Amino acid sequence: MAEFGVQIFPTDQTIQPVAIAKAVEERGLDSLFFPEHTHIPVSRKTPFPGGTDLPNWYWRTHDPFVALAAAAAVTSKIKLGTGICLVIERDPIVLAKECASLDTISEGRFILGIGAGWNVEEMENHGANYEQRWAIVREKVLAMKAIWSEDEAEFHGDHVDFDPIWSWPKPVQAGGPPIWLGANSKWAFDRVAEYCDGWLPIGGAGSGGMANMTAALENRGRSIADIEVALFGAPADLEQAIARVDQGFTHIVFSLPQAEPDRVLSHLDKVAEIVDKLR
């Protein structure tokens, strides 16, 4: 059976992480995801992929790991995920520690949704190279996997390089929290197949997406049954949700509005009603 969750930018102008986490669990949903942007450069040189002015919640969001830790402390069942974590902007040793800590604190409920991002200036402020962003993401993910699973981990790549280190705690989930790739370009299929546990496309799989993912996994000796296929940013629409589950999505993540708490909770109630009909 598919699972169902929600996502919202947790900012200082909407419902706070503790309140929304409690509400999601009380309504019997399965997951809660928080996006990430450390900041937005004032220059605004890179256009917003959404085609409009960039909404201000992109530069008002809480740090997702702080917000998810708060959510973990007041819940016991729901899965808690980044949707997505901009791995390109984070040190892999520190990020591995954050993920392992959150997985331990939540008793194995953490999902690491990842991506490379789209804002060139934002990446450059972190010293990241936009043109090599996916090569960097790959090495950081592989380095973190080593840290999570080895007592004396080391990694030597073109972008990440360190000699043997000690780093505890290790994640509760064997091998580390599941990693879901939040991208739907033509290169996403092989990236998921190589180093991820799930696929988290925004808006859908696109034409031929499921077939392409299946082929990429089979090329690496894996099966589509080995991964989670999660739709990110789904509208609160019953017919669309049914169609997506029939298409093969194993997890539907509905969007919540960036609004005052009462409106967010009202929309959450609508999502919960839809989910009740899907189960």
pLDDT of 271: 98
- Please name which of 271, 241, 278 lies closest in space to residue 32, comparing C-alpha atoms: 271
- Give the CATH number, domain containing residue 82: 3.20.20.30
Residue type, 116: A
Question: What SS3 state is found at 179?
Answer: strand
* Contact residues for 278 (Cβ-Cβ < 8 A; gap 6+): 2, 4, 238, 241, 242, 245
Please give the Cα distance from 272 to 132 (Å, whole number). 41
Alpha-carbon distance values, 86 to 59, 187, 229 (Å)? 14, 17, 20
Number of structural domains, the chain?
Answer: 1
pLDDT of 206: 78
CB of 270 within 8 A of CB of 236? yes
* Contact residues for 97 (Cβ-Cβ < 8 A; gap 6+): 167
pLDDT of 1: 87
pLDDT of 253: 98
pLDDT of 228: 98
Mean pLDDT, 10 residues at a time, over the chain (279 residues)?
97 98 98 98 95 96 98 98 98 98 98 97 97 98 98 98 98 97 95 98 87 97 97 97 96 98 98 97
Question: What SS3 state is found at 100?
Answer: helix
Q: Is 163 exposed, middle or buried (0-12, 13-18, 19+ CB in 10 A)?
A: exposed
pLDDT of 14: 98
Phi, psi of 79 (to 5 degrees): -80, 145
Determine the distance from the C-alpha atom of residue 247 to the mean position of all C-alpha atoms in its chain, rounded to a whole number.
Answer: 21
Q: Which domain holds residue 97?
A: 3-278
DSSP assignment of 218-243 equals HHTT--GGGSEEEEEEE-S-HHHHHH
